[in-house]
């Protein structure tokens, strides 16, 4: 079964609104989670590293005020896309390390901004 769960799997929002995507670690604590974005037929691009209890670390070119990351507990990280635009439409995937350093990915969340 899944060890990292994302919700929602698909979401459609209107341009200018905000949408939140959740990433949960199931049955284990994840002090660090990673958020990736993937456009159709392209690879995964690391957006940011989410750290429990502290600020996220963003990759170069990723707007931290637009992609808000909150890692308030050891099992939950959230990514909020603020003032979404059609160009933000993408597949967003989170990942987390299990004890023993194995990395697992969530199922992904399709965001469509109309």
List the one residue out of 25, 49, 56 whose CA is nearest residue 35.
49
User: Binder to another protein among 13, 32, 52, 89 (CB under 8 A)?
Assistant: 32
30/6 Cα distance (integer angstroms): 14
Shortest Å distance, C-beta 46 to another protein: 5
Give the Å distances, CA to CA, from 99 to 3, 25, 31, 54, 114.
12, 12, 11, 20, 40
Query: Can residue 51 be called a binding residue for another protein (CB under 8 A)?
Result: no
- Per-residue tokens: 39: 């456009």
Shortest Å distance, C-beta 83 to another protein: 26
Closer to another protein by CB, 17 or 75: give it: 75
Applying CB under 8 A, which residues contact another protein?
32, 34, 36, 41-46, 49, 60, 91, 93, 95, 97, 101, 103, 105-108, 110
């Amino acid at each position: 079964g899944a060890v990292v769960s994302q919700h929602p799997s698909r979401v459609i929002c209107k341009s200018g609104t905000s949408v939140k995507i959740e990433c949960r670690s199931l049955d284990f604590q994840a002090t660090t989670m990673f958020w990736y974005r993937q456009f159709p037929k392209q690879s995964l691009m690391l957006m940011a590293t989410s750290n429990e209890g502290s600020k996220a670390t963003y990759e170069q070119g990723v707007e931290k005020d637009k992609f808000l990351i909150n890692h308030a507990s050891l099992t939950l990280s959230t990514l909020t896309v603020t003032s979404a635009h059609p160009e933000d439409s993408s597949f967003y995937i989170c990942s987390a390390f299990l004890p023993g350093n194995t990395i697992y990915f969530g199922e992904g969340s399709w965001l469509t901004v109309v």
